[in-house]
Structure 1
Amino acid sequence: MNITRAVENLFKRFLPSPFTIAILLTLVTIILALTFTESKDEGSHLLNILSYWEKGIWNTGLLEFAYQMMLILVLGHILVLSKPMSNLIMGLTRYAKNSTSAVILVSVTTMLVAFFNWGLGLIFGAILARKVGEHAQKNNIALNYPLVGAAGYVGLMIWHGGISGSAPIKVAESNHIIDMMSSISDASVLSQLPESVNFNTTVFSWWNLLLFVILLILIPFVLTRLAKASKPTSLHLETYQFQSSKDEPIEGAEKMDHSKLLAIGFGALILIVFGYQYSDNLLRLQITPNMLNFFMLGLAIMLHGSFSSFLNAVEEAIKGTSGILIQFPLYFGIMGIMKDTGMVVMISDFFASIATATTLPIFTFFSAGLVNIFVPSGGGQWAIQGPIVAESAMQLGVPLPKAIMALAYGDQITNMLQPFWALPLLGITKLKAKEILPYTIILMLVGISVYILGLLLL
């Protein structure tokens, strides 16, 4: 398809690595701050801006946020690499009888898993797509493998509206919004901000769940139509191993590393503490990053059945966090400049001047989708765009949960266009971006239609 080839060439020619983009955005922000803002402190305006940047990079609260997001990705990946999850994936593959049943199986299960945890959904969808391909190859089943690969990536178009979504899970923390806006908004606005925005008004709101269910039905339907209109592809896949097994003899204290009793007992202890510590939060639907990560830590250790297996999975999963680890501080530096120079209020005032309570969520949706192309991280995007969205929503009287979810929807939908988070899937499935892009772009257009109608009507 010419359009997908053009998109792929566009990304290759004009978009450098996400780390380089983060540096370029930093330089652009410094120039904009120098041009459009005035110095609030004594001394050189440029030096003050650089000081704001440095303070933003080492903002303790934001660094904690970065580590929380890293753990959400890592622990989700670790869960997929456990033996029970691998057995589940292998069990599911036998239901793939042709391209139609394969895309339904892969897309529906991937979206359900990604709604719980985006890291889990990303790797689960990739491995399931690969195993479906291997199953088809072994049993001589005609299959459009790139389409199945695209189906394994659809979890990334619903994740930010799910339980591990960076924006909704962060605003559920007590005082997060107030702390974020404390040096931006005036006292009258701060007094209107809630202590937290719980999941019953965002992720578990009836309108967000309705949009999720619509996509859960509509995306497989579109994929089945594409499956019937497309031709099978040839398959040349080797068996993908979930984890490499080590045949070295276990001696001495190493037996503790491989102790099933110790691992399951410790994992159970974590889950008991989780129930005691967070039962009230669960009842209030106040799900926070620490709460989700604590639960997944206990569950992952139990499912792996030994500390050795768990640590091997950690070693494998940690590779996918390099982008978050090194890019987040740069995004926090950008946020520091925008906050301390007053750029957040300036941008919010601009949106408030051109938007209405009806159109602001739509502006937020499209701007978030655009920002995601350059900042392919929901957490980094919330750090940069979150204060602007919150300030604009308060000025125009837009319900804060709706504004937050509009950002989440926009951020997630252009993952079907931006190949950054597809890299793990491409590595596991051995597909190329140009092979899945024709299908993910179509799914992106379907998702855009659903989310815009949802923001306008619900």
Structure 2
Amino acid sequence: MLRILSRPATKLMERWLPDPFIFVIVLTLVAAVAAIVTQGTPPLALIRMWGDGFWELLSFAMQMLLVLVTGFILASSPPIKRILQSIAGLAQSPGSAIILVSLVSLAASWLNWGFGLVVGAIFAKEVARVVKVDYRLLVASAYSGFVIWHGGVSGSVPLTIATPGHFSEAQIGVIPTSQTIFASWNLAIVIALIIFIPLVNRLMIPLEHEQVLIDPAKLADDAAPPSVAQNQTPAERLENSRVLMWLIGIPGLIWLVMYFMDGGGLNLNVVNFLFLFVGIICHGTARSLLTALDGAVRGGAGIVIQFPFYAGIMAIMIQSGLAATLSEWFVSISTAETLPFWSFISAGIVNIFVPSGGGQWAVQAPVMLPAAEALGADYARVSMAVAWGDAWTNLLQPFWALPMLGIAGLKARDIMGFCVVQLVITGAIIGGILLLL
């Protein structure tokens, strides 16, 4: 049945889903029209909001580009590639390949979302070298694991409200992760997704004559290991010096040890620092690392050009009041028992226009938290419902797929048909548990 459902969804997306750059332009126009019609925002004021906010995500865009680049550098280093190839060798059939990629992506994304995106894509390529399986579904399986991230240990909403001094502390206090990430009901969602996401992906494998296999030439290493000349110039000796790389790599690792010993947690900057300096040590020479860098940057064009447009959409949604109005409407039809569910649904819709966990929480917290107080709903559950809604519709929003697609060499339309089926099933699982447990 799932194979039958995925077939029209895939064809629909392949035919109608444009390049993510066109998608973001359409979203910009939809947000603008909605702000004018529902909020009465004057067009010139709207243009000012959009233009003023256009560059607000430059720092974040650079962080995301570095997630792709540093993650690729690490994963393409000789020791890490051997590990990934060893795990990929466990796949003996198309079904086991799909399940294995799904599980690896789920585990990596639960630990850290940036790590999950990069490892999922590179591991999918490694598995494709071992087993002949529909490459679109293989990469979609890697991306579907990303849906778990906001319920994991790098979730921005639960980590924010667990940090003393957060912007809602006066209202809800500091809520420890034992009541959010490690609450029994949240762990139930995580466990259910770990069971059902790989199973659903496995059941969507197209019939043999419908499968799209990857050209083996596209799976070749993006950069061959550089050869070392016999008679090297002084410059070449520096480029191939292991001592030089150890002299810079070891201090980086020492800083990481001190950071974590002082109680520091994972964030984007720390993850990128970790990827980069472990990658420096694993590559061993500057020439090897720079060769990997050449292969890494090819997939970053979408990030560079699209993030400013999403920053403009966020400015329209927030400054016009459109996001708050949408959230307030869902609050108006809620009770204490159903508020987490409707928070989840509203967050899923807002996420399509504001695809940033931290940014979305800044938009929805001032609406959802007072509603939780008025209805007597549980703050922790409502907060995590917003977090899960933010993660859920990433299956439909190609924004976060850009790093993975850049590494895998696919377009959003290639995987989104399979992701739509996962969207329906994971939405039923998450929403059902929020209502029942």
* TM-score, normalising length: structure 2: 0.78
Q: Which residue identity does 1:129 align to in structure 2?
A: A
Q: Which residue identity does 2:49 align to in structure 1?
A: Y
Corresponding residue for residue 82 of structure 2: 87
How far the C-alpha of 1:214 sits from its partner, in A, is 3.2
**Cα offsets for 1:269-327 (capped at 9, x unmatched):** 12221232343434xxx533333333333222222223333333333333333333333
Q: Using a 3 Å threshold, how does the CA distance of structure 1 residues 433 and 287 change in structure 2: closer, same or farther?
A: closer
Q: Which residue identity does 1:16 align to in structure 2?
A: P
Q: Which residue identity does 2:369 align to in structure 1?
A: M
Q: Which residue identity does 2:371 align to in structure 1?
A: L
Q: Counterparts of 1:415-434 in structure 2 under 5 Å?
A: 415-417=394-396
How far the C-alpha of 1:241 sits from its partner, in A, is 1.5
Q: Using a 3 Å threshold, how does the CA distance of structure 1 residues 447 and 340 change in structure 2: closer, same or farther?
A: closer
How far the C-alpha of 1:207 sits from its partner, in A, is 4.1
How many angstroms apart in 2 are the aligned matches of 1:278 and 1:342? 40
How far the C-alpha of 1:419 sits from its partner, in A, is 6.1
Q: Answer yes or no: is the 8 Å Cα contact 1:393–1:399 preserved in 2.
A: no
How far the C-alpha of 1:395 sits from its partner, in A, is 1.9
Helix, strand or coil for the counterpart of 2:335?
Answer: coil
How many angstroms apart in 1 are the aligned matches of 2:7 and 2:95? 25
Helix, strand or coil for the counterpart of 2:234?
Answer: coil
Corresponding residue for residue 332 of structure 1: 311
Q: Using a 3 Å threshold, how does the CA distance of structure 1 residues 361 and 65 change in structure 2: closer, same or farther?
A: farther
Q: Counterparts of 1:408-447 in structure 2 under 5 Å?
A: 408-417=387-396, 440-447=419-426
How many angstroms apart in 2 are the aligned matches of 1:166 and 1:320? 26
How many angstroms apart in 1 are the aligned matches of 2:137 and 2:324? 44
Q: Using a 3 Å threshold, how does the CA distance of structure 1 residues 11 and 219 change in structure 2: closer, same or farther?
A: closer
Corresponding residue for residue 146 of structure 2: 156
Matched, 1:20 2:22: yes
Q: Which residue identity does 1:256 align to in structure 2?
A: L
Q: Using a 3 Å threshold, how does the CA distance of structure 1 residues 434 and 332 change in structure 2: closer, same or farther?
A: closer
Q: Answer yes or no: is the 8 Å Cα contact 1:356–1:396 preserved in 2.
A: no
- Return the match for 2:225 from 239, 245, 249: 245
Superposed CA RMSD: 4.0
Q: Using a 3 Å threshold, how does the CA distance of structure 1 residues 130 and 47 change in structure 2: closer, same or farther?
A: closer
Structure 2: segments with no counterpart, 5+ residues: none
Corresponding residue for residue 181 of structure 1: none
**Cα offsets for 1:14-40 (capped at 9, x unmatched):** 54333333334334444444444468x
How far the C-alpha of 1:81 sits from its partner, in A, is 1.5
Q: Counterparts of 1:29-48 in structure 2 under 5 Å?
A: 29-37=31-39, 45-48=42-45
Corresponding residue for residue 208 of structure 1: 186
How far the C-alpha of 1:86 sits from its partner, in A, is 0.7
Q: Which residue identity does 1:272 align to in structure 2?
A: I
Corresponding residue for residue 51 of structure 1: 48
Q: Using a 3 Å threshold, how does the CA distance of structure 1 residues 404 and 64 change in structure 2: closer, same or farther?
A: farther
Aligned length: 426
Corresponding residue for residue 96 of structure 1: 91
- Return the match for 1:128 from 123, 126, 130: 123
Corresponding residue for residue 42 of structure 1: none
Helix, strand or coil for the counterpart of 2:116?
Answer: helix
Q: Which residue identity does 2:108 align to in structure 1?
A: V
Q: Counterparts of 1:92-241 in structure 2 under 5 Å?
A: 92-136=87-131, 148-165=138-155, 178=167, 191-192=170-171, 201-222=179-200, 237-238=216-217, 240-241=220-221
Q: Answer yes or no: is the 8 Å Cα contact 1:37–1:343 preserved in 2.
A: yes
Q: Answer yes or no: is the 8 Å Cα contact 1:258–1:308 preserved in 2.
A: yes
Q: Which residue identity does 1:26 align to in structure 2?
A: T
**Cα offsets for 1:351-410 (capped at 9, x unmatched):** 3222233333323333444455x55x842x653x43342122212225555444334433
Deviates more, 1:253-262 or 1:6-15: 6-15
Q: Using a 3 Å threshold, how does the CA distance of structure 1 residues 226 and 348 change in structure 2: closer, same or farther?
A: closer
Matched, 1:309 2:309: no
Q: Answer yes or no: is the 8 Å Cα contact 2:298–2:406 preserved in 1.
A: no
How many angstroms apart in 2 are the aligned matches of 1:202 and 1:403? 10
Q: Answer yes or no: is the 8 Å Cα contact 2:67–2:118 preserved in 1.
A: no
How far the C-alpha of 1:452 sits from its partner, in A, is 1.8
Helix, strand or coil for the counterpart of 1:245?
Answer: coil
Deviates more, 1:11-20 or 1:427-436: 427-436
Deviates more, 1:97-106 or 1:430-439: 430-439
How many angstroms apart in 2 are the aligned matches of 1:431 and 1:202? 35
Q: Answer yes or no: is the 8 Å Cα contact 1:73–1:120 preserved in 2.
A: no
- Return the match for 1:387 from 341, 352, 362: 362
Q: Using a 3 Å threshold, how does the CA distance of structure 1 residues 408 and 257 change in structure 2: closer, same or farther?
A: farther
Q: Using a 3 Å threshold, how does the CA distance of structure 1 residues 110 and 262 change in structure 2: closer, same or farther?
A: same
Q: Using a 3 Å threshold, how does the CA distance of structure 1 residues 322 and 360 change in structure 2: closer, same or farther?
A: farther
